[in-house]
Amino acid sequence: MRKRLDRIHLLCQQNVPGLRLVNKQHVWWMRWLGWALKPVVPEFSSRFTTVIGNTVYLPDDPENLSPNMLASTLAHELVHQLDQQRYGVVFYLTYGFGLPTGRTMRAYWERRAYAVDLMLAMEAGGPDSVRRTANRLVEIFCGPSYFWMWSGRMSASEYLRPVVEDVLDGTLNTREPYRSILAAWRGVDPELL
Ligand SMILES: [Zn+2]
């Protein structure tokens, strides 16, 4: 597992110059944010990872997280970091200030990143695992975790469906950055996928 983490970490370092992994409990304003968000997202500090620029704010010291879990978290955050690099201020504005009603651009960015979680679920346990993960994501998308970024269970399920289908039929991992992430996860050359 450690080797897998090393490969994913290297991929992230190659794409995000100056990548830093930080325990968010050690950052005063992250602790403040965790306190402020507590009524709505009680697990912000203890479970959620936050990424801003080249810094990944983890819920614990990297050494205390399981290598597999850290590898999948870094892969998810890499999608955000690449989007942040590409779209700059547009990313932050649309991510941070989406209205907490109905539909938000935040859901668009998170769907791109959670595609990684679905792809890795496929790796771990095939279609059944993808469906279980998709059900969990429906709750995440329509619930308070990200301030109701796509409200309505049915609607969230519909919104996620195209990505779920792309994972199930294998088309997702023909596209970047998913292809490179999967190759690093497996430890193979991307050309061999
Ligand atoms: Zn995310």
CA 177 to chain centre: 13
CA of 143 to the centre of ligand 1 (A): 14
Select the more confidently predicted residue: 151 or 100: 151
pLDDT at residue 100, as a whole number: 56
Residues with CB under 5 A from ligand 1 (ion): 110, 113
Residue 4's contacts (CB-CB under 8 Å, 6 or more residues apart) are 67, 68, 71, 184, 185, 187
Question: What's the confidence (pLDDT) of residue 98?
Answer: 60
CA of 5 to the centre of ligand 1 (A): 18
Assess whether pLDDT exceeds 80 at residue 45. Answer: yes
CA 128–ligand 1 middle distance (angstroms) = 23
Q: How far is the CA of 79 from the centre of ligand 1 (A)?
A: 8
From 54-63, 85-94, 101-110, the region with the lowest mean pLDDT:
101-110
CA distance 88 to 113: 16
CA of 147 to the centre of ligand 1 (A): 13
Give the distance (Å) from ligand 1 centre to CA of residue 177.
15
Determine the distance separating the centroid of ligand 1 and the alpha carbon of 10, expressed in angstroms: 20
Are the CB atoms for 125 and 131 separated by under 8 Å?
A: no
- What does pLDDT average to over the chain? 93
pLDDT at position 93, please? 87
Q: What is the pLDDT of residue 179?
A: 97
Domain boundaries, the chain: 2-15+66-192
Distance of CA 179 from the midpoint of ligand 1 (Å): 18
Cα(154) to ligand 1 centroid in Å equals 21
Joined together, the tokens standing for residue 147 give 């301030």
